[in-house]
């Protein structure tokens, strides 16, 4: 849906350039292409961050369900790590081999 809105926005912008400015057609197409590239990049970045955030939330949910996760080549579970929900990092618990070790939730599968 966002792609359609971005494309519509570029068309409206191009039409405004076409009828309200004195640019020639080549200049108008160049400007419209630059604007379309910026909008497309912003949409792709938003989709990427949305996917990454969902992945981190899925990892946190699995951890809270008591499942063992594989993160950065290590096994992470509630008996050896705690979850910092502010930064979504796993911190090794005192008295374990992983004490004070920090692993980001984005590194988990």
Q: Per-residue pLDDT for the chain (109 aa), expressed as one digit of tens each?
A: 777 887 788 788 878 878 888 888 898 888 888 888 988 898 899 999 999 999 999 999 999 999 999 998 999 999 999 999 889 999 999 998 888 899 999 999 8
CA–CA separation, 58 vs 88, rounded Å? 11
Domain-wise residue ranges, the chain: 1-65, 67-109
Residue 81, pLDDT score = 94
Burial of 62 (0-12, 13-18, 19+ CB in 10 A): middle
Which segments within 7-104 are labelled E, that is strand?
69-71, 74-76, 81-84, 89-92, 102-104
Contacts of 68 (CB under 8 A, 6+ apart): 75, 76, 77
Q: For the whole model, what pTM was predicted?
A: 0.73
In DSSP terms, 103 is beta-bridged to: 90
Residue 104, pLDDT score = 94
In DSSP terms, 81 is beta-bridged to: 92
Distances (CA, A) of 6 to 16, 59, 80, 109: 15, 32, 46, 33
> What tokens does 95 get?
């008295």
């Amino acid at each position: 849906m966002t792609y359609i809105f971005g494309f519509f926005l570029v068309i409206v912008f191009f039409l405004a350039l076409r009828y309200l400015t004195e640019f020639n057609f080549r200049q108008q197409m160049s400007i419209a292409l630059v604007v379309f590239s910026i909008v497309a990049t912003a949409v792709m970045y938003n989709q990427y961050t949305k996917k990454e955030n969902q992945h981190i939330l899925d990892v946190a949910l699995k951890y809270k369900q008591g499942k063992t996760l594989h993160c950065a080549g290590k096994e992470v579970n509630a008996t050896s790590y705690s979850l910092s929900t502010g930064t979504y990092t796993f911190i090794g618990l005192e008295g374990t081999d992983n004490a004070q070790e920090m692993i980001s939730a984005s590194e988990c599968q």
